[in-house]
Structure 1
């Protein structure tokens, strides 16, 4: 006797699909406030996310009621509320990346007079989690929370180049869909060749004019997935030859130090209790 197929609850399936869609749109809306949590109106949120304004109005009302958004009545604007910020701090509390890495990164930034960044991949962008500046790197426009288009940055290319070839092919397909105006096949192949040769890859004037970038994937113990360690500075001070011969090896040494630090005990922040 053939087993009968279970009946499909089309009503519950449709309802679940609607819930997932609403959740997805709500998360897209929250991400629109990154990286600086600047106040935004419903119209600005609609333009930033591509969602219809009536949908945005319903979402902001719900998210405000749940504490994920604060409403600024004088300007009819919203910004991230404490509930949303708690989610971010909750994630950071499970990682000791910033406490472990910042001191060495800042020392490296000062010694080499560069911008030094620790980032993670989020879709088609690299999100800066730690940013350290040397005195001469003040003009590089990256801050904590900045989101850099993946295929244009050395950090994004280092992440993609370090993937298994079959996985990298899938990522390249996604990149071509998100950035149809430019073919990054050759750039990604060059980055993969650089990673195989020396462990890091470089870009010149890709992210900003006359800006050099170098990056390497870094595996930190107990971290959720790979991070990317990158640095950037004026291309006239760090041409490709100097980057290959001097800066890249120094950055790789910093990477090894950070990976070794991550294996040690978690440092405890010094908290001063109120009198």
Structure 2
């Protein structure tokens, strides 16, 4: 059984419930766990670090990293005896982003919102118990949040993740609840309360908030909507806490983000 990761950094695929499925290929899932362990903040990792992050035996990790290096999915750095994501992934990643038409629709509105509010604006979707940034715009300021495309933030504690949860189906929310309770048993009551409050706020106001819940120095608002393909994307607008008070989030940033999100939906043909 794999060692569980915290909800804030869990890189695993989130398919542990399928381990008894005969159609489920474990070795492929483990290889994906290796890839998800790399983040924009931790782009170079060794076998020991990968083992700790994935919960896989180090011997298994060593075989996987060797094979994935041969295939170009990883690059080995002899000087550090560590790995980074390989160039072989670049075409696949770019193709995946190009296929997300919602990025093209959302980008101009996100950029404008970032410039007007002097805050960072990002578009993301769920990856396990995290939200993965698929588009990002920073304001022209030295104090912008240091996040970018490919960054992951915890679903349960961020405005973006809470917005995603608020729009998810009952079945998906129930599955997420079960995973959070297992991955974060001690913090689950606190996470659950935040998620339930987010559902109510998003239904009433069209946005959610996170005021220092993930990072005490970061305040943000989030809004989400369902795609015609069945997926969900979320948009957030955040900045360092000293620039973005709770009052400003509730009175200005949240309502503006909700309006921008609705405009994206309309332009994408998802709202009439």
TM-score, length basis structure 2: 0.80
**1:126 and 2:134 matched:** no
Q: Which of residues 100, 116, 138 is equivalent to 1:111?
A: 116
Q: Which of residues 173, 179, 184 is equivalent to 2:184?
A: 179
Q: Give the corresponding residue for 1:3.
A: none
- Whose RCO is larger (CA < 8 A, sep 6+)? 2
Q: Give the corresponding residue for 2:6.
A: none
Q: Which of residues 213, 224, 233 is equivalent to 1:227?
A: 233
Check 1:66–1:154 CA distance in 2 against 1; reply closer, same or farther (3 A cut): same
User: 1:120 Cα deviation (Å)?
Assistant: 0.5
**1:50 and 2:18 matched:** no
Task: Write the deviation string for residues 52-86 of structure 1: whole angstroms up to 9, x where unpaired.
Answer: 22211211121122222222334333222233223
Give the count of matched residue pairs. Answer: 248
Supply the distance in 1 between the matched residues of 2:239 and 2:48 (Cα, whole angstroms).
37
**1:252 and 2:267 matched:** no
Supply the distance in 2 between the matched residues of 1:250 and 1:123 (Cα, whole angstroms).
28
Q: Give the corresponding residue for 1:157.
A: 162
TM-score, length basis structure 1: 0.80
Check 1:55–1:170 CA distance in 2 against 1; reply closer, same or farther (3 A cut): closer
**1:199 and 2:206 matched:** yes
**Is the 1:36–1:145 contact (alpha carbons within 8 Å) kept by the matching residues of 2?**
no
User: 1:104 Cα deviation (Å)?
Assistant: 1.9
**Is the 2:124–2:131 contact (alpha carbons within 8 Å) kept by the matching residues of 1?**
yes
What stretches of structure 2 of length at least 5 have no aligned partner?
1-20
User: 1:210 Cα deviation (Å)?
Assistant: 4.3
Q: Give the corresponding residue for 1:208.
A: 215
User: 1:133 Cα deviation (Å)?
Assistant: 1.4
Task: Write the deviation string for residues 2-57 of structure 1: whole angstroms up to 9, x where unpaired.
Answer: xxxxxxxxxxxxxx969822111111112222336723332332233222222112
Supply the distance in 1 between the matched residues of 2:149 and 2:65 (Cα, whole angstroms).
25
Supply the distance in 2 between the matched residues of 1:57 and 1:210 (Cα, whole angstroms).
37
Supply the distance in 2 between the matched residues of 1:49 and 1:162 (Cα, whole angstroms).
29
Aligned alpha-carbon RMSD (Å)? 2.6
Supply the distance in 1 between the matched residues of 2:74 and 2:217 (Cα, whole angstroms).
39
